[in-house]
Structure 1
Amino acid sequence: MKKFAVVFPGQGSQSVGMFASFIEDPEVKRTYEEANDALSYDLKKISLEGPAEELNKTEVTQPAILAASVAALRALKSRIDAVPAAVAGHSLGEYSALVAAGALDFADALRLVRLRGQAMQAAVPQGKGAMAAVLGLADEVVIDGCKAVSQDGDAVWAANFNTPGQVVISGAKEAVDRAAKFFAENGAKRVVPLAVSAPSHCPMMQSAADKLKEALSSITLKDAAIPVYCNAYAKPLTAKDEIVKALILQLVGPVRWVECVKAMQSDGVSALIECGPGKVLCGLNRKIDKSLDLANICDEDSLNKAIELIK
Structure 2
Amino acid sequence: MALRLAVVFPGQGTAGGEVSGEVGEVVRSVTGGGEVPYQLSVFASSVETLRELGERGVRPDVVAGHSLGEYAAAHAAGAITLEEAARLVAERDRLMNLASSQNPGGMVAVLGAAPREVADAVEAFPEAEGVVVAANFNTPRQTVISGEEAALDALGERLGGKKRKLEVAGAFHSPLMLTASLAMEEKLDAAEVRDPEVPMVSGVDGAILAKADDVRLALRDQMLSPVRWVAVVERLAALGVEEIVEAGGGTLVRMLRDFKDVEITGRAAKEVLS
TM-score (norm. length: structure 1): 0.81
Structure 1 residue 116 corresponds to structure 2 residue 118: no
| Cα pair 1:279 1:296 within 8 Å, conserved | yes
The 3-state SS of whatever aligns with 1:116 is helix
CA distance in 1, matches of 2:126, 2:106: 14
Paired residue for 1:182?
158
Aligned AA (1:250):
Q
- Paired position in structure 2 for 1:79: 56
Q: 2:30 aligns with which of 32, 38, 42?
A: 38
1:79 is displaced (CA, Å) by: 2.6
User: Match for residue 272 of structure 2?
Assistant: 303
Matched, 1:65 2:42: yes
Partners in 1 of 2:3 and 2:184 — Cα distance? 36
Name stretches of at least 5 consecutive residues in structure 1 with no aligned partner. Answer: 47-59, 306-311
Structure 1 residues 116-145: Cα deviation after superposition (integer angstroms, max 9, x where no partner): 111112224367312101111111110111
| Residue in 1 that maps onto 2:11 | 10
Whole-Å separation in 2 of the counterparts to 1:30 and 1:249: 30
- Separation (CA, whole Å) in 2 of partners of 1:96 and 1:124: 23
Sort the Cα spacing of 1:110 and 1:222 in 2 relative to 1 into closer, same or farther, 3 A. same
- Within-5 A mapping of 1:1-311: 3-14=4-15, 18=17, 29-41=21-33, 60-80=37-57, 83-125=59-101, 128-152=104-128, 154-183=130-159, 188-276=160-248, 278-289=249-260, 291-298=263-270, 302-304=271-273
- Give the match's secondary structure for 1:176: helix
For residue 296 of structure 1, report the CA deviation from its aligned partner.
1.5
Paired letter, 1:225: E
Counterparts in 2 of 1:153 and 1:211: CA distance versus 1, 3 Å: farther
Is the 2:242–2:264 Cα contact (8 Å) retained in structure 1?
A: yes
Deviation (angstroms), 1:217: 1.8
Q: Is the CA contact 1:150–1:156 (under 8 Å) kept in the aligned structure 2?
A: no
Query: Structure 2 stretches of 5 or more lacking a match?
Result: none
SS in 1 for 2:101: coil
How many Å separate the matches in 2 of 1:171 and 1:95? 24
Q: Quick check: 1:212–1:248 contact (8 Å CA) kept in 2?
A: yes
Shift of 1:147: 2.0
- Return the alpha-carbon distance in structure 1 between the equivalents of residues 153 and 222 of structure 2: 24
RMSD after superposition: 2.1
Number of equivalences: 272
Match of residue 57 from structure 1: none
| Distance in 2, Cα, partners of 1:201 & 1:293 | 28
Code of the aligned partner of 1:286: R
| Native 8 Å contact 2:134 2:144 kept in 1 | yes
Q: Given the two structures, how large is their TM-score scaled by the length of structure 2?
A: 0.92
Residue 141 of structure 2 contacts residue 258 of structure 2 at CA under 8 Å; is this kept in 1?
Answer: no
| Structure 2 residue identity aligned to 1:11 | Q
CA contact (8 A) 2:244 2:265 kept: yes
* Matched position secondary structure for 1:200: coil
